[in-house]
């Protein structure tokens, strides 16, 4: 991550710029911020860094729009289009703008639902036009997700921030939420919770939704897979051990490795 800024005006779009050539990256950042329609919360050079930035909070950034170049250098040879393609089935993905020197990807960009297509060399007028379109589109969109979660502790109501949640569990017709503050009861089903929070949660089992940002360990024992979700990985770790459905084990592993490095790939 090369540049980070604090949150400013809540009406501004929060932009992530993905561009491997620093002069082009810096110039686009300048144009975006000069518009007074958006703030750049991150500027990175590769798809891997972009995936890291786009992880659910608290590990990632809150991003409304991603400006991504197509041809990106890096060890993995991934392009900006790979980042867009991977997000197609995600109902909570940010808006995407392809910022590139190549015209020939326009048809695929349209098919992928890309929100705008900026050709280099960028101009102040064209970037501002793009941001005005995106701002109007965001205002027309419904609310993205509930602001807080309300749970029960006996006869009391407990209010939780979404980024505090480790996991949701369904058992014996009851739904529970696991957090650093304890485990509480909810009135909603897992399906309702999944619909409300979308990509912020990962379904790993028919009875479990987890916050991937808190997955600390992937455990395999014979044909069984479990993940530890919580904080800490030492003897004093706090969290819950969650079963992973056999048919979801490989996709969960792939998801975790896609935003991590250090393991030799086959």
Taking residues 167-194, report their average pLDDT.
91
Of the candidates 199, 198, 151, the one whose C-alpha atom is nearest the C-alpha of residue 175 is: 151
Q: How far apart are CA 109 and CA 89, in angstroms?
A: 15
pLDDT confidence of residue 4: 33
Q: How far apart are CA 79 and CA 73, in angstroms?
A: 8
Of the candidates 37, 41, 43, the one whose C-alpha atom is nearest the C-alpha of residue 62 is: 41
Mind listing the pLDDT tens digit for each residue in 7-31? Answer: 344 478 999 999 999 899 999 999 9
Taking residues 251-255, report their average pLDDT.
84
pLDDT confidence of residue 8: 40
Is a pLDDT exceeding 70 seen at residue 5?
no
Largest pairwise CA distance in the chain:
61
- pLDDT band at residue 186 under the 50/70/90 scheme: very high
Q: How far apart are CA 84 and CA 96, in angstroms?
A: 7
For the whole model, what pTM was predicted? 0.52
Q: Are 70 and 108 in contact (CB under 8 A)?
A: no
């Amino acid at each position: 991550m090369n540049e980070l800024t604090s949150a400013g005006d809540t009406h501004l779009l929060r932009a992530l710029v993905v561009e491997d050539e620093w002069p082009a990256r810096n110039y686009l950042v300048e144009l975006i911020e000069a518009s007074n329609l958006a703030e750049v919360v991150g500027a990175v050079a590769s798809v891997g860094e972009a995936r890291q930035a786009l992880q659910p909070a608290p590990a990632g950034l809150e991003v409304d729009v991603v400006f991504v170049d197509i041809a990106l250098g890096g060890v993995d040879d991934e392009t900006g289009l790979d980042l867009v393609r991977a997000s197609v089935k995600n109902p909570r993905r940010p808006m995407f703008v392809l910022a590139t020197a190549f015209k020939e990807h326009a048809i695929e960009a349209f098919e992928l639902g890309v929100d705008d297509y900026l050709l280099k060399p960028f101009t102040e007028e064209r970037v501002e036009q793009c941001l005005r379109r995106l701002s109007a589109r965001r205002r027309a969109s419904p609310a993205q997700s509930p602001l807080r979660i309300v749970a029960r502790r006996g006869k009391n109501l407990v209010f939780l921030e979404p980024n505090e949640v480790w996991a949701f569990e369904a058992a014996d017709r009851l739904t529970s939420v696991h957090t650093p503050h304890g485990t509480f009861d909810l009135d909603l089903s897992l399906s309702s919770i999944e619909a409300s929070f979308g990509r912020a949660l990962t379904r790993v089992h028919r009875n479990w939704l987890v916050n991937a940002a808190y997955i600390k360990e992937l455990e395999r024992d014979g044909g069984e897979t479990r993940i530890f979700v919580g904080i800490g990985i030492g003897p004093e770790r706090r969290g819950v051990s969650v079963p992973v459905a056999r048919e979801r084990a490989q996709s969960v592993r792939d998801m975790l490795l896609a935003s991590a490095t250090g393991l030799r790939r086959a």
